[in-house]
Every structure is written in C-alpha cells, then in structure tokens.
Structure 1
Amino acid sequence: MRVLGPHDPLEVPRLSRIAVAGPPGAGKSTLARRLCERLGVPFVPFESFYHAPGWTVRPTWREDVLRFTERPVWAIEWQGEDVREQLAARAQVLVWLDHPRALVLTRVVVRTVQRRFGRGSPIAGGNVEPPLHTFFTDPQHIVRDSWRRQPLMRDRVRRLITEDRHPGLVVVRLRGRGQVRVWLRGPLAESLG
C-alpha cells in the first residue's frame, strides 16, 4: 500500500473509485462532491443512504451503499462501520483528510450554526441538528462526536495502512485546506487528464 502526500503523483490507471476519510466536519462530503464532478458522475451523500426521517436508520443502507459502489465510477465518504472494509476493498484511492483538530471543530461548529438558520446543506431524511448550546447536555452532539472521532479515524486509517489488507489501495494524506487545493489542482488533475 502506498501512502502519498499532496504533491505526489497518483499513478493510478483509469482513476474511477475514490473514498474520502475523516471525522465529522473535515470536509468529506464537500470533497467527495468535487471528486464526483471531476469524474463526471452524480454525487450521492453517504448520509442519504443511512438517515431516514427522525434520525432513524434506513434498513437497506448497507445494501444500498454496496450497490452504489458496484458502479464503475464513484466517490463517496468512507463511513459506516458495517461497510467501511468493503469500501476500502473497492476503492482505488482513499483520501484521508487528516486536518488539524482546530480546523475540523471550527468547520463543524460553523456548519451546525448555518444549518440551524437554514443556510447550510440539508441533512438527509429532513433531519435537523440540535441547537449548538445542546453541546453541553447532549453527549451525542455533532461537535462532541467530531472531537471523539478524530483520533478514532486516525487509528482506523493507520491500521488500514499497517495491516495492508488492500495492497492495491493508495492512501493520500491531506492536512489542511491548502493541501487539499494543491492535490486537486496537481496530482488529481494530472491523473484525470
């Protein structure tokens, strides 16, 4: 398994299957959307497979995600414990958004506030995040969840790399918005021609 930085050439023949890893607020959906645009395919947010109204879980989410990734070309967020391994097995590239914690937390707070005022991207199933002040009372609040999941995501990706279960998978580690921009304009653009 190769681990690349923002300047390293991808050297992936016919790049067509990309998963994006990171904690809540890292920009997984934003990057996956941009990748789908570059690949010329529609973007389907992972949460639309998973969330039903009332924050319930869609019963067919696993099958729906795996069916989506049977397509020849896609980009998707690397989420869902029950399908994460299959996504890694099907992807050619895993983009790891390993941003500094302050950046991620700022982004998740801004996104939460924007959604509360109807200016952010909607959540699948018509769900609405609770007010930001519930951070103090709700142990599952998205800001707390992001804080908790950042080290867990690092461990997951590092384990994926060290265990080398998917030798053909290329991991691109990006730290910060600048590195994302460099990678999109450089190695990704060059790989897609």
Structure 2
Amino acid sequence: MPEPRRIRVVGNSGSGKSTLAAEISRRTGLPRLELDEVFWDAGWRYRDLDEAHALIDAFVAEHPEGWVIDGNWTSRLEGRLDPGTDAGADLVVWLDHPRPLVMSRVIRRTARRGILREELWHGNRERPSTWLSRDPHENIVLWSWTNHRATRERMTERMDAGQPVVRLAGRRAVGRWLATLR
C-alpha cells in the first residue's frame, strides 16, 4: 500500500489533534491546515460556510502532492475530505485516548490559554468567564466531556464501514505510529 499523502487527524477536543498534525507535517514535509482556523472567524463567530469551503478547496487544490488537515467539523464539511472522494483523505488518523487523559489535557490547555490570554485564530482567545458555563457550546471542557462518546461512536461507525481509519489510543500508540512515517 502506498504511503498516505492526504492525512486527516480527528478526535475529541483536547486529544492532541493539532499537536499530532504539526508533527506529521514536520516529519513528512506535507503542508498543514487547521480546520478551527478555517471555520472560526473573529469574535468566535462561524465563518461564512461558502467562504470556509472555498478556503479548504483552495488548500487541497494547491497541494495535490498531499496535505495534513486536523479538526473534526463534520457537520460543516458536507463530505469534503471524506475518504473515497476526489479530494478526500487517503487516511484518517483518529485519536481515541481514554477520557481521563483527554480531560486532563483539555483542562490544562484551557487554563493556560485563558490565564496567558493566548490568541488562537483571528484574535479569538479562550475566556475564563466560560469555565463555569453549563452550555457545552460555551465551555470547551464541558464540550470535550459531552462529545467523547459521540466522537467514539461516529468514528467506530466509519471504521466498520471500511473507511481507512487508524485508531490511536494512548500516547504509546501515537509514538509507534509516528515512528512508521518517513
């Protein structure tokens, strides 16, 4: 089987998608696109869907030799990047870490970003005022908690349907898989 050149990294919030995608890009030399940057606009508003799709389509067209794209955004992608489509991924790498690992990561990351006022995309910053919200759309930690099972179910269905998915559960699995990249 040829080495995958169009790699999509998915997983629950806090699973390490961006970190893994950056490392895949570094090791392979493939250009990287972060879907959070595409779909979020300034002020934590969703970017216009047609504009977001145009950005993704342009990135894929500009990099026919391959790419790494991280992020879920299944409901807004409308099938873009799905394996089996012309512009789809050759391989989907699914980070399926245990919930305690994901939660510890998302809590540490959220606290660091909020305290240090780290800019994410387009001037957006995580706000400590959202940490106590009971709305998962406002509270990234709660979003991660409530989506853990749903992400697992969705990805298991894709694997069962025969899509090219590599499931990585735990840090060692990630390290072993990275070691196979050229």
Q: TM-score, normalised by structure 2?
A: 0.85
2:117–2:126 Cα contact (<8 Å) kept: no
Q: Distance in 1 between matches of 2:164 and 2:173?
A: 17
1:138-163 deviation digits (Å, cap 9, x = unpaired): 41200000011111111111121223
Q: What is the correspondence of 1:43-54 to structure 2 with a 5 Å cutoff?
A: 43-54=32-43
Structure 1 stretches of 4+ moved >3 Å? none
Q: What is the correspondence of 1:1-193 to structure 2 with a 5 Å cutoff?
A: 11=1, 13-59=2-48, 60-70=51-61, 71-72=63-64, 73-80=66-73, 81-83=75-77, 85-89=79-83, 90-118=88-116, 122-131=119-128, 134-139=130-135, 140=137, 141-164=139-162, 169-185=163-179, 187=180, 189=181, 192=182
Instruction: Tell me how large the CA RMSD over aligned residues is.
Output: 1.9
Q: TM-score, normalised by structure 1?
A: 0.80
Query: Which amino acid counterpart does residue 130 of structure 1 have in structure 2?
Result: R
1:68-107 deviation digits (Å, cap 9, x = unpaired): 2332211111422221632122111111100000000110
2:7–2:91 Cα contact (<8 Å) kept: yes
Extract unaligned runs of 5+ from structure 2.
none
Extract unaligned runs of 5+ from structure 1.
1-10
Structure showing greater relative contact order (alpha-carbon pairs closer than 8 Å, 6 or more residues apart): 1
What is the count of residue pairs matched by the alignment? 171
Q: Distance in 2 between matches of 1:88 and 1:148?
A: 24
Identical columns (%) = 35
- What SS does the corresponding residue of 2:167 show, helix, strand or coil? strand
Q: Distance in 1 between matches of 2:82 and 2:151?
A: 14
With over 3 angstroms needed to count, the CA separation of the structure-2 counterparts of 1:54 and 1:78, relative to structure 1, is closer
1:98–1:174 Cα contact (<8 Å) kept: yes
